[in-house]
Amino acid sequence: MRSVLAAVGRLKSGPMRDLYLEYAGRLGRGPLGPLELREVEERRPLPSGERIAREGELLRAALPEGSVRIALDERGKALDSDAFARQLGGWIDDGRRVVGFWIGGADGLHPDLRAEADLLLSFGAMTWPHLLVRSLLAEQLYRAETILTGHPYHRA
């Protein structure tokens, strides 16, 4: 399986980018494959509703056809790390080739993306900065991979 992260906005150099690269760099040879980052941006100054709709179009197009689609959303399901790993492992066992993640911009995800997602995933009831969520997701993917392969990272 390979993992694709489609996210609104660009990570600039600095601590958030470094943290993301640290965990994304640990993936690649295990069952979740490399983590590919696809950043999208709408640069036109659109009203909020139009901007969210346009970002939704860009995010949808950023995931390969047939991907498992996971939308990061505070209204989603909160899974512990073991459950997240089991869910990913189930998709691997089902022969799914790509798992894709959507992270919206400052105003969130378009409702159509939430409706199309195979899973709405929450990192808790608090709202996290959308640029930081990339690092949280990369770490949880690495953690899931170590759970699936029996590596001691998760239990250490």
84-119 tens-digit pLDDT: 999 999 999 999 999 999 999 988 899 999 999 999
pLDDT for the residue 156:
57
For 21-35, what is the mean pLDDT?
A: 91
- Given a cut of 80, whether residue 155 has pLDDT beyond it is no
State which H helix or E strand residue 7 sits in: strand 2-8
44-85 tens-digit pLDDT: 999 999 999 999 999 999 999 999 999 999 899 999 999 999
Contact 59, 107 (CB under 8 A): no
Regarding pTM above 0.85, the answer is yes
pLDDT for the residue 154:
73
pLDDT for the residue 25:
94
d(CA 131, CA 103): 9
Q: What's the CA angle centered on 102, arms 20 and 16, to 5 degrees?
A: 20
pLDDT for the residue 30:
87
State which H helix or E strand residue 83 sits in: helix 81-93
Domains of the chain as residue ranges with CATH: 2-149 (3.40.1280.10)
> What's the one-letter identity of residue 85?
A
